[in-house]
Amino acid sequence: MLTISQLTELLGWATVINIGIFLLVTVALSTMKSFTMKIHSKMFGLQEEELNRAYFRYLANFKLMITVFILVPYLSLKIMGN
């Protein structure tokens, strides 16, 4: 059985890992934009403007999921004192 303190620690590490992945993807998309756009436009048949919107939506949804499902529960448990 998982204790509250173990769950708090799990969510803390999950937050760190997910934010790290988010930052890595953001930097990769920013620095290698032309390369990724070339590949994704060939794979999915999308134009540059559509890809920009898709990248933005992806990053926004990823950030939202991290916040709602990992960061907020972690902070809630920390506030509760565990």
Full DSSP string of 45-76: ---HHHHHHHHHHHHHHHHHHHIIIIIHHHHH
Q: 54 with 61: CB under 8 angstroms?
A: no
Closest CA to 53 of 66, 37, 32, 76: 37
* Residue-range domain boundaries for the chain: 4-80
Q: Model confidence over 12-54: pLDDT tens digits? A: 999 999 999 999 999 999 999 999 999 999 999 999 999 999 9
- The pLDDT score that the predictor gives to residue 81 is 87
Residue 82 pLDDT exceeds 70: no
pTM, full prediction:
0.89
Residue 58 pLDDT exceeds 80: yes
Residue 5 pLDDT exceeds 80: yes
